[in-house]
């Protein structure tokens, strides 16, 4: 795995799939760097991202971490061309192993580690995190956005989770009911249609919606304001809010929904010899076509 190094006076790094810079004092900005695939996530990208988070979290000069992305879209979700249950190195978030086991067993271990496990790890970073969302944020993109503490969105950003079309219940980090409320979560999942940035703001999923051309400036300005606060106070405040979610049942809900997600994979393997219903690809393309036509 490529190394991420932090140099004196800021962050300076480039890897194949993630780049890191320091746009302001005390700020580390981690950028998804696979724009030609609309930042579709393969395991290599997720583990480079994890290494970048780990390095930023351990750097005493970094007060706030920003997650952004290059290209037209924040992320198209999981890379469906790379569905192997393997990670590029040792497990980082869990002690899962035997990813090559047959049936759904290996896939279960893989997703416990590379999806749900990494999301929890990023959620619990002991520093404030801000996601900078733009363009389309589809399915697996939500598992990168929702573990972040704050989300700032460009005005044309759209958020969707259409994977019911694959015979699954939703993205692996199943925080939908907390993010948009239970009724909107059901509509979002049942139809696969996107939630606009304005609706996401109204529902409390994002903190701010700003003009697309002001997104980066606004996000860094917000990060800079936060970086002026005492680091330990920020850590305590973040932990307090996260513990409130756990007290509300958030953690148990994640586990329960993840179990149904694995059951969906098992059903698909039995019926189609694949982890997804292959007809879902055409369904999702049709949803995307309708959404694009509506926007025009």
For residue 203, give the CATH number of its domain: 3.90.226.10
Nearest partner of 33 among 52, 23, 47, 19, judged by Cα? 19
- Residue 191 scores a pLDDT above 70: yes
Q: Give the pLDDT band of residue 10 (cuts 50, 70, 90).
A: very low
Q: Is residue 54 part of a domain?
A: yes
Instruction: Give the containing element (helix H, strand E) for 108.
Output: helix 105-111
Name the more confident of 12 and 269.
269
Name the domain count of the chain: 1
CA atoms of 247 and 237, how far apart (whole Å): 15
Q: Is residue 138 part of a domain?
A: yes
Average pLDDT over residues 246-252: 97
Average pLDDT over residues 1-25: 63
pLDDT of residue 84: 85
pLDDT of residue 106: 96
CA atoms of 228 and 154, how far apart (whole Å): 25
Q: Which two tokens stand for residue 287?
A: 């949803």
Q: Is residue 267 part of a domain?
A: yes
Q: Is residue 11 part of a domain?
A: yes
CA distance readout (Å), 161 to 91, 172, 219, 282: 27, 11, 24, 15
pLDDT of residue 16: 85
Residue 186's domain comprises 6-295
CB 280 within 8 A of CB 80: no
CA atoms of 242 and 86, how far apart (whole Å): 30
Q: For 64-68, 82-86, 147-151, 194-198, which range has the lowest pLDDT when averaged over its residues? A: 82-86
Q: Is the pTM of this model over 0.85?
A: yes
Phi and psi of 93, rounded to 5°?
Answer: -105, -20
pLDDT of residue 15: 57
Mean pLDDT of the chain: 93
Residues in the chain: 296
pLDDT of residue 116: 98
CA atoms of 146 and 234, how far apart (whole Å): 19
Q: Is residue 1 part of a domain?
A: no
CB 116 within 8 A of CB 261: no
Place of tokens 């480079």: 48
Instruction: Give the containing element (helix H, strand E) for 247.
Output: helix 231-247
Q: Is residue 160 part of a domain?
A: yes
């Amino acid at each position: 795995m490529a190394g991420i190094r932090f140099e004196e006076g800021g962050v300076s790094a480039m890897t194949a799939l993630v780049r890191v810079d320091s746009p302001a004092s005390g700020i580390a900005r981690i950028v998804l760097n696979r724009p030609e695939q609309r930042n579709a996530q393969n395991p290599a990208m997720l583990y480079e991202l994890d290494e970048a988070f780990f390095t930023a979290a351990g750097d005493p000069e970094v007060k706030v971490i920003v997650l952004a992305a290059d290209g037209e879209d924040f992320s198209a979700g999981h890379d469906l061309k790379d569905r192997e249950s393997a990670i590029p190195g040792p497990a980082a978030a869990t002690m899962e192993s035997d990813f090559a086991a047959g049936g759904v067993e290996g896939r279960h271990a893989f997703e416990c580690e590379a999806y749900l496990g990494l999301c929890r790890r990023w959620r619990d970073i002991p520093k404030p995190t801000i996601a900078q969302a733009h363009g389309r944020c589809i399915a697996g993109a939500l598992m990168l956005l929702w573990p972040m503490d704050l989300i700032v969105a460009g005005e044309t950003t759209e958020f969707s989770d259409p994977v019911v079309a694959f015979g699954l219940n939703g993205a692996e980090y199943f925080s939908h009911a907390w993010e948009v409320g239970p009724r909107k979560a059901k509509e979002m999942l049942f139809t696969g249609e996107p939630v606009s940035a304005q609706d996401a703001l109204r529902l409390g999923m994002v903190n701010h919606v700003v003009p697309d051309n002001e997104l980066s400036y606004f996000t860094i300005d917000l990060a800079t304001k936060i970086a002026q606060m005492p680091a330990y106070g920020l850590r305590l405040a973040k932990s307090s809010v996260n513990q409130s979610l756990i007290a509300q049942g958030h953690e148990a809900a994640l586990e329960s929904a993840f179990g149904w997600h694995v059951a969906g994979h098992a059903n698909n393997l039995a019926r189609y010899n694949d982890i997804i219903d292959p007809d879902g690809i055409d369904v999702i393309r049709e949803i995307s076509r309708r959404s694009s036509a509506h926007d025009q």
